[in-house]
Chains A and B, each alone.
Chain A
Amino acid sequence: MEIARGLPEIEKRVVVAAFLFAAAMLALLAYAAVRLGITVPGCVTNVKPFANGELIQVAPGRYEAHVVSKMFSFKPSPLKVPRGSVVDFYLTSQDVVHGFYIDGTDVNLMALPNAVTYGQAHFEKAGKYQVICHEYCGLGHQDMVGVIEVTP
C-alpha cells in the first residue's frame, strides 16, 4: 500500500490504534443501543403544530402533554400527574426557539416554531420538577421556568 510504504513500524501501529479507539467508541454506542435501549433521540412525530397547551390522559398512568412555549412561559404549567406516570411530550413554540429540559429526567428537547418535537418521561419519584428553557429566547429567558408536579 502506497500510504504505508516508508513508514516506520511504530507509526503504523499508531494509526491502527487510533482507528481501534474510534471503533471501540462506536461499539459502545451500539452496545448502549442494543442492550441498554439508549437509542438516538428521534424527536420526530406526525403531530401537527398546535396552539393550545393541554394534558390528556390516554390510559391510567399514561398521559400526552401538548406543551406550547412562548416568551417566557410553558403552557400548561404546573402540569400535574401521579407518581409512576409515563408522559409523552409534544412540544412546539409560538415565537422563537426555546429549550425544554425537565430537571432530573433525560427529557432535553428543542421547541421550534411551526414544528413539533417529541420526548418521553417516566416520573418515578413524587415532587416538583423544574422545566427549564435552556435556549436563549430573549431578555426574559432566565425567567422561563415551568413546573411539573408529580403527586404521591
Chain B
Amino acid sequence: MIQKDLRAIILIELLLPLLLTLFGVYHGVLQVLYRAGIIQDVSFGGIGYYQGLTAHGVINAIVLTTFFAVAFGHAVISQYLDHGVSKTGAWTGFVLMVGGTLVAAYPIFTGRANVLYTFYAPMKAHPLFYFGVVFLVVGSWVSFWSWIPGYLRWRKSHPGRKTPLAAVGMFSAFIIWQICTLPVAYEVIVQLIPWSLGWTPGVNVVLSRLLFWFFGHPLVYFWLLPAYVMYYTIMPRLAGGKLYSDFYGRFVFMAFIVLSSPLGLHHQFTEPAISSGYKALHASLTFLVAVPSLVTAFTLAASLEYGARQNGGKGLFAWWARLPHFDPQRWLFPYLFMGLVIFVLGGITGIINASYGMASLVHNTAWIPAHFHLTVAGPTFLAILGMSLYLCAGLLGKNVAAPRAAVAVPYLWTLGTFTFSAGLFYGGLRGVPRRTNLGMSFLDSTSDAYRPDWVIGEYAGAVGGCLMGLSVLLFFYVLVRSLLAPASVPAADAFALPDSAAYHDEAAGVVTNFRPWVIAGIVAILISYIPPLVQVLSAGYPLAAG
C-alpha cells in the first residue's frame, strides 16, 4: 500500500513532466522532418530547430526521467519500507523540482537557452536556465533524502531481514545520482552561473567537459535503474512466475554503484589534454559495466522462462509464446518486455561505442542518437510510460480504459525506434552528423554540400520518428480516457505495485549492505579521475569567453 498523503505528489510528479513530454516528442517528430529535408527552414511554427532540440533533450532526458524516478521511488519506498517517505522532505523536493522546471522553461521557450541539454560551454545560456537546472537537481536530492530516515527505521525494526529488492534498486539509482551530480553541480554553480551573469570573463572549457562527462554517463544508469527495478520485481509476477535469483538482483544493483561512474572518458576519446592511458582505462571499465547487464539478461530470461512454464509453456523456445504479450488484463507486460528487446541492441551498440577504434568512426555522428534511442528511448521511456499509466490509474482507483490500445503502444513504439535507429545507424557510418539541421545544407539538393548518399537513412529516420510520435499519441489517448474513467475509492486504497517472489532466495550477505559497494565505487572514481583531472588542470588552459 502506498501512503495516502503521497498520492497528490506522485500524481503531479508523473503527469506534469508527461505533459511537457508531449512538446518534447512533438519536437522529436519535427526534427526527423527537418533532418530528412522535408522541412527546409531554420524554424517551424515559431520554434527554431536548435531551440526545439534543446527542449527535446532537456524535457525528455532530464525533466521526465528525474521526475519519474522520484515519483516511482516515492511509491516503492512507501509500499516496501512501511510508509517510509518523509512527507516534509517529499513536498520540499517537489516544490524545488517544479519551480526549477518552470524557471528553466522560461529561457528555453523564449529562445534564450539554445545550448542543448549538454550545455557545452562556452555556448552561453540565460542564467535562469542554469538556475532552473540546479533547482531541479537539488529537488531530486531532497526527495531522495526524504527516504533515508524511513529506511533506517525499517532496518532497525526488521533486524536480520533483507531490505526489499525494489527499495534496494531505487536507493542504488539515487546513490549513483547523488555521486554523479556533484561534479556537474560544481560546473554549473562555480563555472557557468558566474560567467553567464557576467561576473567572470570565461570558462575553462576542457575542465567543464571533464566535469560534465563525469555526470553524463552515470546519468544513463539513473535513467535505467528504475526500469531495472520493474524488470526484477514486477515483470516476473506479470509473467506468472518468480524472480529466478534474488542474489543476482542485489548483485546487479550493487555492481552499478561501483561501476557506473569511473568511465566517463569514453565520451572524450577525441579530446586534448587527457592521455591515452586513462582513456584506455575508462574504455576497459566500460566493458566491465556490461557485466551486470549480462547477468540481468540471464536472470530475467530465466524468470520469464519459469513463468511461461508455469503457464504450460514447453520446448526449448516455444515457451516464449506463453508469455502475456497481448493480454489486455496484463497490458503492462509488453511495456517492460519490449523495452528489454530494444535494450539488447542498445547494449550491443554501447559496447561498440566504448571501443575507441570504433569511436573515431562514429563519434558525434547520427550513430550516437541511434544508439541512445535504443536505451533511454527504449527500456527507460517504455517503462516510464507503462508505469506512469499504471500508477495514475491505480492511485486514483480507476481501470485503464482501452487496454487493447494500451497493449499496442509498446509494439508501435518498438517498430518506430527500430526504423528510426536503423536509418541513423546507416547514416552515422556514412558521416551524417548528429544535432544538425540537415535540411538547410546536406539534405538540400540545391546546396553545394548536398549528400545524396545520406537521403535514404534520414528518410528511414523520418518514418521511424513519425511512428514513435503516433505511438505517444495513442498512449495519451489511453491515459486521458483512463483519467476520465469513474473512480473507486476502495480500489485506490487497495492499490499496490505487483511484487515477485524469489525462486532462489540465496543467503549471500555481502550484497545486502550498501557500505562496501559505495566505498569501492568512490575508490574507483578517485583512481580513474584524479590523474585526468590533474592533467587537465596542469595544462593551464586560459579561460574561454565564447
Q: Once the chains bind, are B364 and A101 in contact (CB under 8 Å)?
A: yes
Could you tell me if B363 and A108 are in contact, using CB atoms closer than 8 angstroms? yes
Contacting pair A44 B360 (CB below 8 A): no
Q: When the two chains form their complex, are residues B507 and A40 in contact, meaning their CB atoms are under 8 A apart? A: no
Segment of A18-26, A54-62, A79-87 in the binding face: A18-26
Q: Does A126 contact B (CB under 8 A)?
A: no
Q: Which residues of A contact B116 (CB under 8 A)?
A: 136
Does A127 sit within 8 A of B, measured CB to CB? no
The answer to whether residues A136 and B283 also contact, given A7-B508, A97-B123 and a CB cut-off of 8 A, is: no
Residue of A nearest to B298 (CB): A14
* Cβ-neighbour of B279 out of A17, A40, A107 (below 8 A): A40
A53 within 8 A of B: no
Q: Is A112 within 8 A of B123, CB to CB?
A: no
Contact yes or no, A142 B122, CB < 8 A: no
> A6 to chain B: which residues have CB within 8 Å?
247, 506-508
Number of interface residues of A (CB under 8 A): 62
Main secondary structure on chain A at its contact with chain B?
loop
CA distance A40 to B270 in the complex (A): 9
Report yes or no: A18 in contact with B284, Cβ–Cβ below 8 A: no
B351 close to A114 (CB less than 8 A): no
- The proximity string for A residues 1-45 relative to B, scoring 1 for CB distances below 8 Å and 0 otherwise, is 011111110010011011101100110110010001011111111
Select B270's contact among A7, A15, A117, beta carbons within 8 Å: A117
Please, what's the 1-or-0 string for A57-100, where 1 marks a CB less than 8 Å from any CB in chain B?
00000000000000000000000000000000000000111010
Q: Check B445 for interface membership: any CB of A closer than 8 A.
A: no
Taking a contact as CB atoms under 8 Å apart, the answer to whether A135 and B364 are in contact is yes
Cβ of B275 to closest chain A Cβ, rounded Å: 6
Q: List 30 A-B contacts (CB under 8 A).
A: A3-B508, A3-B511, A4-B508, A5-B507, A6-B507, A15-B251, A18-B294, A22-B290, A26-B284, A40-B277, A40-B280, A41-B269, A42-B275, A45-B272, A95-B122, A97-B122, A97-B209, A113-B544, A113-B546, A114-B541, A118-B272, A119-B270, A130-B449, A134-B365, A136-B120, A139-B42, A139-B50, A142-B438, A142-B440, A143-B449
Q: B residues bordering A, Cβ < 8 Å? A: 42, 48, 50, 53, 114, 116, 120, 122-123, 205-206, 209, 245, 247-248, 251, 269-277, 279-280, 283-284, 287-288, 290-291, 294-295, 298-299, 351, 355-357, 359-361, 363-365, 431, 433-438, 440-442, 448-449, 451, 504, 506-511, 539, 541-544, 546
Shortest Cβ-Cβ A-B pairs, 7 listed: A134-B433, A113-B544, A18-B294, A40-B276, A134-B364, A38-B357, A42-B276
- Interface positions of A (Cβ within 8 A of B): 2-8, 11, 14-15, 17-19, 21-22, 25-26, 28-29, 32, 36, 38-45, 95-97, 99, 101, 103-104, 106-110, 112-119, 130, 132-139, 141-143, 145
